[in-house]
Amino acid sequence: MNVGAHVSISGSRVSSDTATPEYNDIRNAVDRQLAFGGNCGQIFTTSPQVWQQPEISDEAAQGFRELTAEKLEGPWVIHSAYLVNLCTPKDDLRQKSIDSMQAELDAADKLGIPYVNVHLGAHTGAGVGGGLDNAAEVIDELDVPEDVQILVESDAGSGTKLGGEFDHLAGIIERTDEEIGICIDTAHTLVAGNDLTTPEAVDETIQRFDDVVGLEYLEYIHLNDSKHDIGTHKDEHALIGEGYIGEDGIAAIINHPELRDLPYALETPTEDGKGFEWNIAKVKELREN
């Protein structure tokens, strides 16, 4: 099973097998993933709360690629900055979003990471159609490296944010010329109004996703339980099996024949002494051979 966590790259090199450690060393991600028991996962290349370009030395990038190939099994994904808004009608925010996304795509290419994950963002008055048109124009303006794919993440769907409905995901696929993929966040999917609490509900939701979007576009899953119930549009993740999706729902997701071979990245909280290591172990416990 390809399962891991969203790990930090912060700090100097955790291990001492490099001549020139650097602050926020990308190689830290591999060490931390292994410590948690993961074999794939997700990273930020910079702080997600500010407009900042990734700074990755050639040595660190090469080391990251080598460590990943040697010690991990599944693919990494870069999560774009939270400030990025593909749907915005505002020219200045649009350009900042383009510049940030291009930097992340270039970083993914340098690191040998196949995916860059991004939220559609909020249309802020442009309307659903206008927001999706804006997002498609931004994506089409990017120079996407040959071995990198943009993944649009499903959203909790609050306010004017897009991505909470499967129609939004289908709409961006239809509008862009780029061959994008989809990343489903299980907590977001639940609170956006889709039942994932029982095997029967999971089957129905997956079938509806296939009918509207197409399972061939689904490349990655953010596996999170939710602290809020179906249709609340409240984005707050819970420990695996201890939220509203629950053990039955999580087990149904990770063992579903259409989903079981996909990579899973956890964005679960650290609570009650339970962190990523506990959550990954819980996922493996719920996995059927």
- On the question of pLDDT at 193 being above 60, the answer is yes
pLDDT at 31 over 60: yes
Is pLDDT at 18 greater than 60 in this prediction?
Answer: no
pLDDT-based confidence at residue 12 (cuts at 50, 70, 90): confident
Report the C-alpha gap between 239 and 226 in whole angstroms.
8
CA dihedral 166, 222, 94, 231 (to 10 degrees): 50
User: Mutual orientation of helices 127-141 and 166-175 as an angle, nearest 10°?
Assistant: 50
- Both structure tokens of 103: 């930097």
- Can you tell me the distance from the alpha carbon of 189 to that of 223, in angstroms, rounded to the nearest whole number? 10
Using pLDDT thresholds of 50, 70 and 90, give the confidence band for residue 200: very high
Centre a 10 Å sphere on the Cβ of residue 25 and count the other Cβ atoms it contains: 24
Domains parsed from the chain with CATH numbers: 3-286 (3.20.20.150)
Structure tokens at 107: 């970083």
Q: How far is CA 13 from CA 35, 38, 59, 62, 206, in A?
A: 14, 19, 12, 14, 41
CB of 265 within 8 A of CB of 223? yes
pLDDT for 228-286, tens place per residue?
A: 999 999 999 999 999 999 999 999 999 999 999 999 999 999 999 999 999 999 999 99
Judged against a pLDDT cut of 60, whether residue 16 lies above it is answered with no
pLDDT at 289: 83
Q: Between these two residues, 17 and 106, which has the higher pLDDT value?
A: 106
Confidence of residue 160 (pLDDT cuts 50, 70, 90): very high
Phi, psi of 117 (to 5 degrees): -95, 140
pLDDT > 70: percent of the chain: 96
Judged by average pLDDT, the poorest of 22-31, 55-64, 271-280 is 22-31
pLDDT digits (tens, 9 = 90+) for 106-156: 999 999 999 999 999 999 999 999 999 999 999 999 999 999 999 999 999
**Which residues have C-beta within 8 Å of that of residue 281, sequence separation ≥ 6?**
37
Band the pLDDT of 24: cuts 50, 70, 90: confident
Rounded distance, CA 11 to CA 33, Å? 15
Q: Can you tell me which residue has the tokens 């029982």?
A: 198
Kindly report the pTM of this predicted structure. Answer: 0.95
Please name every residue paired with 118 in a beta bridge, in sequence order, or none if there are none: 152
23 neighbors 55 (Cβ within 8 angstroms): no
Rounded-to-5 percentages of helix, strand, coil across the chain? 40, 15, 45
The answer, yes or no, to whether residue 23 has pLDDT greater than 70, is no
Tell me whether residue 150 is exposed, middle or buried, using C-beta atoms within 10 angstroms of its C-beta: 0 to 12, 13 to 18, 19 or more.
buried
